């Protein structure tokens, strides 16, 4: 019974802290805690919906159609050689979103969030050609890297948020291992890729 609750908790954490949702959470945080909180609520709502469409709804729909067309379960889709098309679907939609944000003349630091997420997808897709890597761990690492970079640019103390993001990263990485989706090596590789991509995307841009 206890094992059942542990697995259920791992599934919930894995779902909530999914790579699909992190860009949306990042934009909500930006709208709440940066000078962009002065934007009209209609503009913030529109941008949030656009980010949701291109990072959550459309990629997940495309991946679901791809999976069902092949008659695979979610677990079968997680095989390394079957992750190529899902990576391509995500990269395509993140690239389109970046063009839209540029069209709306969003501040560069907001676009860097999507650039970081896109870089993580591209690097993970490249690594996937040789070995499996955890995109959940990479996304979690990307949040930490971006937070550290933003703290340098905007000169604020990130300690509280850093503790929270590290805790959440640990929770999601542990969940992926409990669910037997990844090995410890695949988790650590994902975290390192995410840290580098998230930090570099913000600093360079």
> pLDDT, tens digit, for every residue of 145-195?
999 999 998 888 999 999 999 999 999 999 999 999 999 999 999 999 999
* 8 A C-beta contact, residue 160 and residue 168: no
Q: CA nearest 10: which of 181, 199, 183? A: 181
Q: What angle do CA 122, 106, 111 make, to 5 degrees?
A: 20
pLDDT score at 1 = 47
**Is the Cβ–Cβ distance between 26 and 57 less than 8 Å?**
no
Task: Report residue 151 as tokens.
Answer: 């703290």
Q: Is 20 helix (H, G, I), strand (E, B) or coil?
A: coil
Query: What pLDDT, in 10s, does the model give residues 3-31?
Result: 888 889 999 999 888 899 999 999 999 89
In tens, the pLDDT along 51-107 reads 999 999 999 999 999 999 999 988 888 888 899 999 999 999 999 999 999 988 888
What are 3's two structure tokens?
């094992």
**How many helices (H) and strands (E) would you count in the chain?**
10, 0
């Amino acid at each position: 019974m206890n094992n059942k609750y542990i697995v259920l908790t791992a599934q919930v954490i894995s779902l909530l802290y999914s790579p699909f949702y992190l860009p949306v959470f990042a934009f909500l945080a930006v709208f709440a805690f940066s000078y962009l909180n002065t934007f009209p609520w209609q503009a913030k709502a529109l941008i949030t919906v656009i980010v949701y469409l291109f990072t959550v709804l459309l990629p997940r729909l495309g991946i679901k159609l791809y999976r069902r067309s092949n008659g695979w379960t979610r677990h079968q889709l997680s095989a390394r050689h079957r992750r190529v098309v899902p990576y391509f679907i995500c990269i395509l939609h993140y690239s389109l979103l970046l063009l839209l944000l540029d069209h709306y003349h969003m501040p560069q630091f907001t676009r860097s969030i999507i650039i970081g997420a896109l870089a993580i997808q591209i690097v993970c897709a490249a690594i996937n050609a040789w070995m499996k890597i955890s995109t959940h761990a990479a996304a979690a690492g990307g949040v930490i890297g971006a937070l550290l970079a933003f703290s340098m640019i905007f000169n604020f103390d990130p300690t509280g948020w850093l503790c929270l993001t590290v805790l959440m990263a640990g929770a999601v990485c542990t969940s992926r291992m409990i669910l037997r989706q990844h090995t410890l090596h695949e988790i650590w590789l994902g975290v390192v890729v995410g840290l580098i991509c998230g930090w570099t995307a913000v600093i360079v841009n």
